[in-house]
Amino acid sequence: MTPDATLELSVEQLIDALNKKLFMECARVQAAMPPRSRALAVTLATEVDALEKRAVDVLQEVLSLRNSLRPVNRLPPEVLASCVTFVSDTDPRPIVSLTHVCRYWRKVISSDPRHWTSIATGWNRLASLCLERSGAVPLAVDITVSDIDMNDNFLETLAAHTSRISSLRLVEHSSIDALEDELHGFFHSPMLNLTSLELEQEEDPVALFPSSEDPVPPVFQNVSKLESLRLTQTPLYPSPFGIASLRELKLTGYATPFHFETFVGFLASNLSLEVVTFRLQFVKGSVPVNTVRVVSLSRLRYLSINCVKPIDARGLLSCLKFPRGVHLHIMHSGADQPNLLYSSLPAVLAPIHEALTPITVVKVQCSPMKLQLLGSRGLFSFRSAKSPVFWDPELKLHPIASVRELHVGSGSQSLDPAFLVPLLAQVPALETLVVTNTRSWTTGIFDSLAGQPLRCPSLKTIAFFNCTLTAQTVQELESMVTKRKGSEATWLCRVVIVSSTGALPSYTLIRQLRQQVPFVDVRVADELPDLS
């Protein structure tokens, strides 16, 4: 080998060579040691290994103690489990990230089956995880039929748990008859605990009320415990109706007109209903002018009617008998003759006038106009681009004199004292005035109230929601408070100012107002707080 020759070794080869050399040297040293010394060396090495293992365990315990002292880990399990519901009460996907905070959170959240009862198509592995963690708790299943072909395993995974399904929602299916084929025999196993069913069909049904001789689709079989039924563009088969347990019914999205008599008969077969909501239109000429039959819905608590034609609502109301305390919502969604419903408002409400009680709500809505009537401790409100259009002396037929809370608003318009002040004269028991979505004020509204305080002797609270308040508004409020102090009227004690956009009055105006009113609540929120 010449002096210029070099030996090239990699790092691994070099380390391996050194280890071999070290092993050889250690072996030579051990061979030279007495047997007693070699035994002592082995004992010491064993003890060192044991101490190192204990040191690792102690360090892990110290880290665990440090984590347990943090506030995030000191919440009681029941409190932490309740906090999770604020993240999502129906969708477990946002909850998964909470299980990654720490082991304590993961243990508490994963062990509570209430957080894992919702399952939907497209969740892939999360669906299996929810089925595992939910235990024996009833399930809420949301199936998008168009997603099934891309996820065949979903139905196979769910098949063994159909008896646990208490709420089922099926959307984006072509027709109710095709569900059996599209879901590959999903309904072969009966859902004996199903209490809520929602169907959203893509196309309007050919036959809205199929014949009783037509075969009933599997989805409507074995529904003896059904309490809530929500249908969109879905045929109304006779079989699922007349169920003693059915409490809620919602029908929407129907382009095919209903025959009036058929629909009234449909309601008559479900006298146990408590909540009924529907948006529909009746066959032209099928709505009677005079009452042809009276259906008494003795358990009804809430009825919402959205009819294309006002005459449809009038005809339907004339055929129904309501219990006392019913909450009635009438909406006219047709674009033609938007004022027709209001011009005949007393006639519309006449059939139910005897059913009105201090807790009864009657709401009549017509876009862009809105009218609400409510008895004692309730609400009487209306909104329109032209506010005075609805004010009619005939409305005195209804119990607005006992109204406790009044909501007024004019969109982007200004409220006119000539309109508002006479209205307030009709509600002497008023305790709360709520003004919503008003861009500006016409001077004199509160000044007029201050000049005639006995017109609202019980007024205690004024609330503003998304309103533009100026210095003039504050001055009028101060004038109102000052003049009411010396009268027999109740002193205004609270002003609530809420904005969903963050546009609040200046600090100077708020401080000025607080010098006169005992309680002034200013906040940014999406809705008004409870004013009761």
Distance of CA 487 to the CA centre of its chain: 45
The residue ranking higher by pLDDT, 516 or 151, is: 516
Residues 84, 106: Cα–Cα separation, whole Å: 12
The residue ranking higher by pLDDT, 367 or 285, is: 285
> To which residue do tokens 């477990």 refer?
92
Helix (H) or strand (E) holding 98: none
Q: Rg of the Cα trace of the chain? A: 36
Q: How much is the pTM? A: 0.60
Specify the pLDDT at position 429. 73
Kindly list the distances between the CA atom of residue 442 and the CA atoms of 55, 415, 446, 475, in Å, as whole numbers in the listed order: 79, 6, 10, 13
Res. 426 pLDDT band, cuts 50 70 90 = low
CATH class of 404-532: alpha beta
Specify the pLDDT at position 217. 80
Residues 426, 432: Cα–Cα separation, whole Å: 14
Name, of 357-366, 370-379, 403-412, 454-463, the range with top average pLDDT: 454-463
Torsion of CA 105, 106, 107, 108, to 10 degrees: 50
Residue-wise pLDDT tens digits, 224-270? 888 998 988 888 775 555 677 888 988 887 777 777 777 787 788 77
Torsion of CA 365, 366, 369, 371, to 10 degrees: -30
Q: Which of 482, 489, 421 is nearest to 458 (CA)?
A: 489
Contact 429, 403 (CB under 8 A): yes
The residue ranking higher by pLDDT, 387 or 81, is: 81
Res. 480 pLDDT band, cuts 50 70 90 = low
Residue-wise pLDDT tens digits, 429-459? 778 887 776 655 444 455 455 444 445 677 8
The pLDDT of 160-177, averaged and rounded, is 86
SS3 labels along 321-360: ECCCCCEEEEEECCCCCCCHHHHCHHHHHHHHHHHCCCCC
Crossing angle (nearest 10°) for helices 471-485 and 507-514: 0
Q: Which of 461, 346, 482, 367 is nearest to 406 (CA)?
A: 461
The pLDDT of 14-29, averaged and rounded, is 80
Res. 167 pLDDT band, cuts 50 70 90 = very high
For the chain, what is the mean pLDDT? 72
Contact 490, 460 (CB under 8 A): yes
Domain(s) of CATH 3.80.10: residues in the chain: 404-532
SS3 labels along 156-183: HHHHCCHHHEEEEEEEEECCCCCHHHHC
Residues 398, 244: Cα–Cα separation, whole Å: 35
The pLDDT of 10-36, averaged and rounded, is 80
| Percent of the chain whose predicted confidence (pLDDT) is above 90 | 2
Contact 139, 167 (CB under 8 A): yes
